[in-house]
Structure 1
Amino acid sequence: FEAEIRAERQRLLDISLEESISTDRLAQLRDSRERLASERNSARTQALVEVGRCAALAEELRRLRGEVVGAEARASGSTERAARSEERCQEVKAEGERRAQELRGRIEEIWSGLRSASAGLK
């Protein structure tokens, strides 16, 4: 009979130990679940921050590309104007040379006429 009582007490101790281990394990699992939920929320918040940052960077890139297109257009226009100005400068120089040559010819004709008139008067 005493052996049965000891066995029953041992069985009750084993059950109590198993309950304690199960309670501890349940507490650990709850802590893990809460920690994972917190990490998941933190990751979700971080992902939302990154999505916002990505959108801001995409907008900045779009804006900068627009500025580059505008700057390229202005540079192209300036290059074209510079080329036209250079062409016009060359035309003006050529016209000036042509007129100077024409004036030299006329002056030469006048001098020649004056020499002839002076020679005829002598």
Structure 2
Amino acid sequence: MLPKVFLYVDAIARAGSIRKAAETVHVAASALNRQLRELETDMGVELFERLPRGMRPTGAGEMLLAHIRQQKRDFEQLNARIGELRGMRRAQIRITAHETGTRDLLVLYQVIEWAERTWFAWSMPKKVE
């Protein structure tokens, strides 16, 4: 999860003002302003231009916003993939072949190994007799 201050920065950029952002994230405007000021001090750069009618991200602010938004997308994708894992069921597959089908079985074995490397969420125990 992203630090709350990053979520606040994103909210300020989307809303265009600290007051409007504070309403959307349900935090006092003074607390939001304080968090932003602390982050700017830590980073040593202003992240927003303070304008008479709102705020606009600076170049550094745009860079930070791009990072924040990418992290949010990555986290959402991770959650989706984990959700897919939760929905998976385990199953056992047994494949047998006659001696004359050994060549075909070898190809199948290679396909299974490729699938395991490609989709790490499952593996198939293999036993050649």
| Fold shared by both chains (TM-score > 0.5) | no
Structure of larger gyration radius: 1
| TM-score between both structures, scaled by the size of structure 2 | 0.27
Higher helix proportion, which one? 1
Higher strand proportion, which one? 2
Larger RCO (CA within 8 A; separation ≥ 6)? 2
